[in-house]
A and B are shown apart, each in its own frame.
Chain A
Amino acid sequence: MNKPDEPFDQKLTQHYKERKERITLTSDQQKALLNTATHTKPKKPTRFSFTLQLTSLACALGVFAFIVFDNNNVINTEPKTVLNSVFNTIDIHDYSIIKTHEINQAGSYASTFTEQKHALDSQLANDLRRHQQRHIEYGTLVKVDNDWYIASCNDEVLVQIKQSLLRDLKGKHAVESNINTGDMLAMAHNGKGQIIALKHAGAGVRQCGA
């Protein structure tokens, strides 16, 4: 740290004062400044910002109401929670479509789609068509509780297999043993889009896109 140089500082202050005394506004300039300033009507930013705040609030309320009421029209929106597992964390809202497969109380096979509202109609038509085709769908088993949750290799689809269907498939020996969370599975669909078997994907399919 440098020591303060007092004589120089004093000299500096003296020079500065002298300079400041010389450089001042002329009386005409000062009058003109006063005149300009005092005759300028201030804008009213507070009123403007208040209006802006009101408008923003109204918009926010509108959006909120839209979201709330629109959500009420969506059927079977559960589960809405984030599914946490050791293997992965899934937010249901990351998926456009949730396919649920189960055997209902009447004993017949039922599958439903729960669509997030942002899914496009055209996507729905395509998915329905794909759903009804006979094919093998691949996906990773990400969560097991009573039901199984399989993140399909079709990124937008989470397949939920309910306990009822699992029980039925196991009864028919259509579920391979030793399936664990994190395994890549192959889901065999029949011509109606129903899941008829669950097994490990072949050795060649270790991950989606492989």
Chain B
Amino acid sequence: MLLSIKSWLFETPSKDCMASYAKSGDNRYLEQLIALYSNDLYHYLVTQSNTHLAYDVSQQTWLKVIEKRHLYQGQTTPKAWLFKLARNTLIDEYRRQKHFVELDENTHLAAQNDKSESGLTIGSSNISYDAFDAALKQLSFVQREAVTLQQEGFSLADIELITQSSLETIKTRLRYAKQHLKRLLGANNEQA
């Protein structure tokens, strides 16, 4: 009895807030989702665009979550579903702006430098951060995406689902991306 009262008072978040939100439409779950994933999504979007567009697309994505919650099915992780939604929204936005039409290995949509980022106070210990940031921005859209998603903790199967690419393609992108990064970071270290 006491336990049930305790669980009622201090309700622990559901394992799959997205499934709960899809089922009930209760804003509590949406708030939980935003608290859990908004920064992850925003960081991914900034990596693939710039802070201004990332925030805009981030807002659009959350509105899509509200509209399309009935389409969520529990076979994917909520995070993967959200990232797929965000990615599609970003690509739609790019296409709307006529930035590019097809996504391939050569589509080089380098993330743009933001004044807010470059204005950060950077100490001597942050040289590697700048180098990493610059190197990441030199990768092609899809290679940068593959690395980012892997670093976000997604499995290859998740990345396959999010990017709608084959497993082999993803592996190749990751391999080339890491090679490039290694080369670029190595070059930067030498310069430093």
B contacts with A: majority SS: helix
- Which of B30, B59, B67 is in CB contact (< 8 Å) with A43? B67
Cβ of A38 under 8 Å from chain B: yes
Tell me which residues across on chain A come within 8 A of B47, comparing CB atoms. 23
Those of B108-138 within 8 Å (CB) of chain A: 117, 120, 128-129, 132-133, 136
Query: Which B residues touch A45, using CB under 8 A?
Result: 67-68, 70
Residues of A within 8 A of B120 (CB): 22
A58 within 8 A of B: no
Who on chain B is nearest to A34 by CB? B34
Contacts of A79 in B (CB 8 A): none
Residues 36-48 of chain A, each 1 if its beta carbon lies under 8 Å from chain B, else 0: 1110101101100
Of the residues B31, B40, B117, B129, contact of A38 by C-beta under 8 Å: B31
Contact flag A33-B132 (CB < 8 Å), given A25-B42, A42-B66, A43-B67: no
In the complex, chain B residues whose CB is within 8 Å of the CB of A69: none
Closest to A37 in B: B62
CB distance from A60 to the nearest CB of B (A): 24
CA distance A46 to B182 in the complex (A): 49
A72 at interface (Cβ–Cβ under 8 A)? no
A13 touches B63 (CB 8 A): no
CB pair B128 A30 closer than 8 Å: no
A residues contacting the other copy or chain, number (CB 8 A): 28
If A33-B58, A34-B31, A43-B67 touch, whether A5 touches B117 (CB-CB below 8 Å) is no
Interface of A is mostly: helix
B84 proximal to A (CB < 8 A) = no
Contact yes or no, B62 A25, CB < 8 A: no
> How far is it, in angstroms, between the C-alpha of A33 and the C-alpha of B39 when the chains are bound?
11
- Assess whether A64 is interfacial by the CB under 8 Å rule: no
Q: Do residues B63 and A38 form an inter-chain contact, with CB atoms below 8 A?
A: no
Which residues of chain B have C-beta atoms less than 8 A from A177's C-beta? Answer: none
With a CB–CB cut-off of 8 A, which chain A residues contact B39? Answer: 20, 24-25, 30
- The reply to whether the CB of B38 lies closer than 8 angstroms to some CB of chain A is yes
* A residues 1-40 touching B (CB-CB < 8 Å): 2, 5, 8-9, 11-13, 15-16, 18-20, 22-25, 29-30, 33-34, 36-38, 40
In the A-B complex, the 5 residue pairs with the closest CB atoms: A15-B132, A16-B151, A37-B62, A42-B66, A38-B27
A residues in contact (CB < 8 Å) with B? 2, 5, 8-9, 11-13, 15-16, 18-20, 22-25, 29-30, 33-34, 36-38, 40, 42-43, 45-46
